[in-house]
Amino acid sequence: MSSPQPSESKTPRKYQLFIDGKWVDAESGKTFETPNPATGETLAEVAEADKADVDKAVVAARKAYEGKWGKMSARDRGRLLYKLSQLIEEHSQELAELETADNGKPIRESQYVDLPQVVENFEYFAGWATKIEGETIPVPGQMFNYTLREPLGVCGQIIPWNFPLLMAAWKLAPALAAGNTVVLKPAEQTPVGIMELGKLFQEAGFPDGVVNFLPGYGETAGAALAAHPGIDKIAFTGSTEVGKLIARAASDNLTKVSLELGGKAPNIIFADADIEQAVNGAMMGIYFNQGQVCCAGSRLFVAAEIKDQFLERLTEKSKNVKVGNPMDSGTHMGPQVSAEQLDRIKGYVDIARGEGATVLTGGEPPQLDEEFQKGYFFQPTIFGEVKNQMRVAQEEIFGPVVSAITFENEDDLLKQANETIYGLSAGIWTKDITRAHRFAKAIHAGTVWINTYNMFNAASPFGGFKQSGYGREMGRHALAMYTEVKSVWIDLSGKPIGWFGK
Ligand code: ADP
């Protein structure tokens, strides 16, 4: 593995598919290009998987499940996962640079957030491999009842482009700790880090076929994987729209499904909040990863009493956010991931204006040096005078664009905060401890942050209420999504069953 060099822009990297422990071309021979979103230049040329490759990978994953991997002890599985976590840590600088080159996120985020959390997840679930246990149940009579917690088998996993390696880690680590095998499709925008991860799986010594990585498009490779009769589960992170397609595709085979989907999180600033802390929290909520975060605090509810003061300070600080070369350690925001995403954001600025919102700052791409003029950059943007029923407050924009909404009192606030099809996360900024807990309970969301935002840990569950998805990733809850429970009954009486006569 090597870091991307400036001269590399002229010679794109090349990747094949990773199936059954081997690097192979797609059956069709097709490839696709993935650009560096900061410059628009081609970063890599990647084999393009389709249905035939999905079929091959599912067969390989089944063979591994029924063979070496299925027979391996939990301890050895855990040791392999731990070894992988160490290899990732050793290579984390190169991986962070590649992640930034492929996705556009600032290097300080890849380096200090994404990669450390990838390592943490593999390390955490390595420890779980030997701790997945059943129970004994106190049933009446001369009976003994116990449960076994078994792997599901072959898991399909489809991940998005916003945190490529981290989303892979959230899915791979619990699936493998529980003893499953995996066919994973990275997003077409960001396959590079995942293909490098394939090399580390090989180096760690995982048996062939335990993980198979198939870069390709959603409508082809992704759809083929979700509908495949040979998989036992499909796990997906991405848009709610595609999540519905996945659930439909899986329903023909009643394949088990877990979904981590969109959000439109309320980030609530009460009048008693520490203003400076809350302004920083609002910025963390919306500008982190250029706002391409499913739990982004994109609906900023501000108490009427402090609205002017708060928005003034937020606007002033937003103007100082450094947007530019993501490889520069001083950069706060890099480019959006793709031209499509940039267009989508610009479209929402027009929609906001049309709906009567005001643009307090931003609203357009920044002026940057020549080298970055083909990049997909956008300025930190605040919409003022937003009403909760406007499209910009109801639809996921997935950019550094926040809608500020004023509230008068707690009842008015709670009603609006929960008036959304989503329920992934929420933020609350207040010094009043009872109010903080009251709201944490009343908000319909899978994660609530109080006087903080975007906190994650491999041990803490993450997932959505309502149309934000099914299931929880990370923590012990993730293992429940990758295991089946089997109940076993044993008659201890030794007597024949007399129910239908002697
Ligand atoms: P976004 O809209 O943010 O690009 P998507 O939900 O479209 O996010 O994409 C997330 C992942 O889902 C990507 O890996 C993408 O290729 C995949 N995907 C998109 N469409 C489908 C589909 N119809 N079936 C399966 N996977 C899909």
Q: Quick: pLDDT tens for 240-285.
A: 999 999 999 999 999 999 999 999 999 999 999 999 999 999 999 9
Q: Which residues line ligand 1 (CB under 6 A)?
A: 158-160, 185, 187-188, 217-219, 222-223, 226, 238-239, 242, 245-246
Q: Return the CATH number at 369.
A: 3.40.309.10
- For the stretch 449-499, pLDDT in tens is 999 999 999 999 999 999 999 999 999 999 999 999 999 999 999 998 989
- Confidence band (pLDDT; 50, 70, 90) for 3? low
Measured by CA distance, the residue closest to atom 2 of ligand 1 is 239
Count the Cβ atoms, other than its own, within 10 Å of residue 26: 23
**Could you give the CA distance from residue 126 to residue 176 in angstroms, rounded to a whole number?**
9
Q: Return the CATH number at 127.
A: 3.40.605.10
110, 207: one domain:
yes
Query: Is 384 a domain residue?
Result: yes
294, 346: one domain:
yes
Measured by CA distance, the residue closest to atom 15 of ligand 1 is 218
What atom in ligand 1 is closest to the CA of residue 185?
14
Place of tokens 């009976």: 143
Measured by CA distance, the residue closest to atom 16 of ligand 1 is 218
What atom in ligand 1 is closest to the CA of residue 249?
24
151, 279: one domain:
no
Query: Is 1 a domain residue?
Result: no
User: Is residue 130 packed enough to be buried (19+ CB in 10 Å), middle (13-18) or exposed (0-12)?
Assistant: middle
Place of tokens 């439909």: 248
Query: Is 497 a domain residue?
Result: no
Query: Is 501 a domain residue?
Result: no
251, 346: one domain:
no
Residues 6+ apart with CB under 8 A from 117: 166, 169, 456, 458
Q: Give residue 305 CA to ligand 1 midpoint distance, Å.
A: 42
381, 395: one domain:
yes
Distance from the Cα of residue 6 to its chain's centroid: 29
Q: Which two tokens stand for residue 433?
A: 């401890």
Distance from the Cα of residue 265 to its chain's centroid: 15
User: What pTM value is reported for the model?
Assistant: 0.97
Pocket test for ligand 1, best of 54, 102, 157, 158 (most atoms within 8 A of CB): 158
- For the stretch 405-460, pLDDT in tens is 999 999 999 999 999 999 999 999 999 999 999 999 999 999 999 999 999 999 99
Report CA torsion sign: 267, 270, 276, 277.
Answer: negative
The amino acid that residue 376 corresponds to is Y
192, 160: one domain:
yes
311, 195: one domain:
no
309, 238: one domain:
no
Residues 6+ apart with CB under 8 A from 298: 263, 264, 265, 267, 285, 286, 291, 396, 397, 401, 402, 403
Q: Mean pLDDT of all residues in the chain?
A: 97
The whole-number pLDDT of residue 117 equals 98
β-bridge pairing 266-269 and 425-429: parallel
Q: Which two tokens stand for residue 101?
A: 């080159």
277, 136: one domain:
no
Active-site positions?
260, 294
201, 297: one domain:
no
Reduce the secondary structure of 437-482 to three states and give it as a string: HHHHHHCCCCEEEECCCCCCCCCCCECCCHHHEECCECHHHHHHHC
Please give the tally of structural domains in the chain: 2
- For the stretch 13-53, pLDDT in tens is 999 999 999 999 999 999 999 999 999 999 999 999 999 99
Domain that holds residue 385: 266-450
